[in-house]
Amino acid sequence: MLRMMKMELAVLKKYLKQITFTMLIVIVCLVVGMGSLTSVPGMAFLTVTFSVSMSASAYDDQNGWGSYRLVMPVTRREVVQGRYALNLLLAIAAAAVAAVLMTAFIALGSAVELPEFLANLAVWDNQQLEATLAASTSCACIGLCICSVTLPAYFKFGMTKATQYLPFIMIFLSVAPFLVLGVIGGPLLDQVKGAIELAETTGGLGLIAFAALAISLAVYAASSFIAVRLYSARDL
């Protein structure tokens, strides 16, 4: 799998500037629009997961790379697992770098006098920390769940065909929770209300964040096994 990750990274080199630029534009727009830094690490994670998976899958369809790669000493399982692993690692790295830069900016704001808008951004307290935790967890879960749907589709159909089906799949998955709520009704709403109340208690937010991340990672891992089966059955 490590060999496949190196191959993926070599392919992605040509897209890294574009991915980084996209991430910066998204983060700057959110920071300016919200007047807060709380979304920075989470949006870095979300943007990278989405961009890396799309860029790598798009390259598979270019110049027959997806077929040529299988001539090399890598198995289809390694191809899938390498992409899943690299996608996650790059997203974590992007979020970590964003968090470090955000922390450095906050430290700078407490050490020197900044213009009013920047000074307001550098204000930090427990409420900001909780908001950052909530935003980062939400973005990470969304990114992992989106990739859990899109990556198997890319490996099954290829980037070109997958883009024809994915809008309908994503719309269905967006509507599905409301269908479940309509069928189950009261009991599920009570559990959701209980989770919201738990999040407002000391330590409750961290517990819910940990549980949500664990579930999302489990879904992501299960998705990789599904993608292996789909890609193994694909005729290239």
The DSSP symbol for 150 reads: H
Query: Model confidence at 5, in pLDDT bands (50, 70, 90)?
Result: confident
Lookup: tokens for 122: 């550098």
219 or 191, greater pLDDT? 219
CB 58 within 8 A of CB 159: yes
Classify residue 178 as exposed, middle or buried by CB count within 10 Å of its CB (0-12, 13-18, 19+).
Answer: exposed
CA–CA distance, 215 with 203 (Å, rounded to integer): 19
Higher-scoring residue by pLDDT: 115, 196: 115
The yes-or-no verdict on residue 91 having pLDDT over 70 is: yes
Cα 11 to Cα 229: distance, rounded to the nearest angstrom: 24
Question: Mean pLDDT, to the nearest integer, of 81-97?
Answer: 94
d(CA 143, CA 138): 9
What is the C-alpha separation between 217 and 207, in angstroms, rounded? 15
- Cβ contacts of residue 15 below 8 Å, gap of 6+? 51, 52, 55, 59
The chain-wide mean pLDDT, for the chain, equals 84
Confidence of residue 130 (pLDDT cuts 50, 70, 90): confident
pLDDT for the residue 190: 64
pLDDT: which is higher, 206 or 44: 44
pTM, entire model: 0.85
In terms of pLDDT, which residue wins out, 77 or 178?
A: 77
Measured CA to CA, the distance from residue 37 to residue 98 in angstroms comes to: 10
pLDDT digits (tens, 9 = 90+) for 92-117: 999 999 999 999 998 888 888 888 88
pLDDT confidence of residue 206: 75
Q: For residue 185, name the pLDDT band (cuts at 50, 70, 90).
A: low
What average pLDDT does this structure show over 79-86? 92
At residue 60, does pLDDT exceed 70? Answer: yes
State yes or no: pLDDT of 90 exceeds 90: yes
- Comparing 16-25, 48-57, 204-213, 214-223, the range with the smallest average pLDDT is 204-213
State how many domains the chain has: 1
Q: How confident is the model at residue 87 (pLDDT cuts 50, 70, 90)?
A: very high
The answer to whether residue 85 scores a pLDDT higher than 90 is yes
Residue with token string 């992605």: 12
**Three-state secondary structure string covering 41-99:** HHHHHHHHHHHHHHHHHHHHCCCCHHHHHCCCCCCHHHHHHHHHHHHHHHHHHHHHHHH
For 210-217, what is the mean pLDDT? 91
Domain that holds residue 50: 2-233
Token reading at 192: 């959701």
